[in-house]
Amino acid sequence: MDIELARAWVRGIDAAVERERERLGELDAAVGDGDHGENLRRGFSSAVEAVEAMDPDSVGAVLTKTGTTLVSRVGGASGPLYGSAFRAAGKRLAAERVEPEDVGAALSAALEEVRRLGGAQTGDKTMVDALAPAVDAFLKAVDSGGGLSEAARAAADAAEEGARATEPLQARKGRASYLGERSIGHLDPGAVSTALVLRALAEAAAQ
Ligand code: ADP
Ligand code: MG
Ligand code: MG
C-alpha cells in the first residue's frame, strides 16, 4: 500500500457511506437514534477534504489524519471508535510504502483499540462483530502468501458475514443495548458500516 492507495481508500469509504447513508440511518433508527449514516457521511467527507489538502509523508499520516478528523467531526459512539481505530492503524504505517503484513498489523491495532475503548467482545452486536473476523481473515490470507488485494477481499467478505450474523443477537454495548431483547432481529449499523470500510479497501486495492 502506498500513499495514493490510502487516499483512494478514504475516498472509497466516503463514496460508500454517501451511497448507503439512508440505509445506515434506517438500521440505526431501528436500534438507536438514526444518525449513523449522517454521522459517517459528515466524518468521511471531512476526512477526504483533509487528506486531499495535506502532503503526507507516509501511508500512516493519511490514516492518522482520517482518524483525527473523525474524532473531531463525528459525535456519538462511532466517531471516537472509528477515529481512534484509524489513528491506531496510522501509527503502525510510518512509511511511504507498506507491505500487506504491515497493513495486517495496523488492522489488528485498530481492532485492539476499538475493543479497549468500547469494551465490546465478539457477539455483543457492535462493529467488533465485523472487524474481528475481518482482521482474522486478512491475517490468514497474508500468512498463506496472499497480496493486499486478496487479503482485503477476504477481510471484506468476513466483515459482511460478521455483520449479517449480528441480526439474531441481543445488543450488549452502545445505545442498542438499552432496547434489551428488542434489539434482536435487526442488523447492527456499525457492523454494516465496518463491512463498507473493508469493502472499500478491497476495491481500492484491486485497482
Ligand atoms: P450513537 O449510537 O452514539 O448514535 P452511531 O449511531 O454513529 O453512534 O454508531 C452506533 C454504532 O456504534 C453501533 O451500531 C455499534 O456498532 C457501535 N458501537 C456503539 N457502542 C460500541 C462499543 N461500546 N463498542 C464497539 N462499538 C460500539
Ligand atoms: Mg446513532
Ligand atoms: Mg447519536
pLDDT tens, residue by residue, 33-60: 999 999 999 999 999 999 999 999 999 9
What's the confidence (pLDDT) of residue 178? Answer: 95
Question: What is the 55 CA–ligand 3 centroid distance (Å)?
Answer: 33
Closest ligand to Cα 33: 2
Residue 179 DSSP code: G
- CB of 127 closer than 6 A to ligand 1? yes
Q: Return the ligand 1 atom nearest residue 76 CA.
A: 3
Q: Is the CB of 39 under 6 A from ligand 1?
A: yes
* Helix and strand counts by DSSP (H, E) for the chain: 8, 0
Q: How many angstroms is it from 147 CA to the middle of ligand 1? A: 31
Q: How far is the CA of 73 from the centre of ligand 1 (A)?
A: 15
Q: How many residues does the chain have?
A: 207
Mean pLDDT of 169-188: 96
CATH superfamily of 3-206: DhaL domain (1.25.40.340)
Q: Which residues surround ligand 2, an ion (CB under 5 A)?
A: 28, 32-33, 35-36
In the prediction, which pLDDT does 207 show? 87
Reply yes or no on whether the pLDDT at 127 is more than 90.
Answer: yes
pLDDT at 8 over 90: yes
**pLDDT score for 142:** 98
Residue 147 beta carbon below 6 angstroms from any ligand 1 atom: no
- DSSP reduced 3-state for 97: strand
For the cut 90, the answer to whether the pLDDT of residue 67 exceeds it is yes
Beta-carbon count within 10 A of 52 CB: 10
CA 159 to chain centre: 10
Sign of torsion, CA 152 4 101 117?
negative
The cell numbers describing 167, all together, are: 441480526
Task: Compute the CA torsion angle 196, 32, 43, 83 (nearest 10 deg).
Answer: -80
* pLDDT for the residue numbered 191: 98
CA of 78 to the centre of ligand 1 (A): 5
How far away, in angstroms, is 55 Cα from ligand 1 center? Answer: 32
pLDDT of 11: 98
The one-character DSSP state at 2 is: B
**Does ligand 1 have an atom closer than 6 angstroms to the CB of 49?**
no
User: What grid cell was written down for 146?
Assistant: 496472499
Rounded Cα distance, 178 and 155, in Å: 30
H or E element at residue 10: helix 3-31
pLDDT at res. 156: 98
Tell me the pLDDT tens digit for each residue of 148-166. Answer: 999 999 999 999 999 999 9
